Amino acid sequence: MTEPTSAHVARYRPESHGGEDDGRLRSPVFDRVSPVFLTAMAPWLGRRGGTVLEIGAGTGQQATASELAFPALRWVASDPDPVHRRSIAAWAAALKAPLGGPLDIDASADWAGLPEVAALGPLDAVVSMNVIHIAPMAVARGILAGAGRVLAPGGLCVFYGPFVVGGRMIGPGNAAFDARLRAENPDWGLRDVAEIEEIGAEAGLGFAALLAMPANNRILILQKTL
């Protein structure tokens, strides 16, 4: 596995985020983010009935919530960190959600070529929340390149998190967060929507929407061109 996962896996360790005996970890932002994410994505995912692959699912709380919120979709979670995969499986079991995976996917590697990914068939969406700014650009590039290969025509590549928009930080909080990330790891930092769009275009993904979310976050949706 490449570098990116190494530094932030500690963020959800039980001692810091109230893990359960069964391995369930808790994200400090899940309760706030989940309802707005599901509401915003309903028009995009609510009428689809295929398969969604989530990259870097972390605790698995959102993957489980998404699976339950969009029952017509098969939601498949992944994360390269085994502690996170244990948490993902534990949340799915605790909430009796028919969540797929968790798969061991490092997005900076050739994940689209993995047999377990190919077995999913053409995907309706690839979703990644709060990953690409806490990882080197290789992870964003890997998600986009892989999505370009695994998405069905019209399929969506969805990023949630803080972004640079029009070359500018949205709010002082994001600027401070970006500075903290870069101090922790110079290869991390908020990504510019324009750069993601540009790399996406090389992978056959076109801009579909940029949705404003609370706390100056955004949902960026790219769509595989037909």
Ligand X SMILES: C[S@@+](CC[C@H](N)C(=O)[O-])C[C@H]1O[C@@H](n2cnc3c(N)ncnc32)[C@H](O)[C@@H]1O
Where along the sequence are the contacts to ligand X (CB under 6 A)?
4-5, 8-9, 27, 55-59, 62, 79-81, 84, 105-108, 129-131, 134-135, 139
Closest CB to ligand X among 139 and 220? 139
Closest CB to ligand X among 15 and 206? 15
CB neighbour burial string for 92-108, b if at least 16 within 10 angstroms, e if fewer: beeeebebbbbbebbbb
Distance CA 222, CA 151 (A): 11
Q: How far is the CB of 139 from ligand X (least distance, A)?
A: 5
Distance CA 121, CA 51 (A): 8
Q: How far is the CB of 160 from ligand X (least distance, A)?
A: 7
Closest CB to ligand X among 108 and 223? 108
Name the closest residue to ligand X (Cβ): 58
Q: How far is the CB of 167 from ligand X (least distance, A)?
A: 24
Q: What is the largest CA-CA distance in the chain?
A: 47
Distance CA 75, CA 60 (A): 11
Closest CB to ligand X among 136 and 200? 136
**Is the Cβ–Cβ distance between 23 and 91 less than 8 Å?**
no
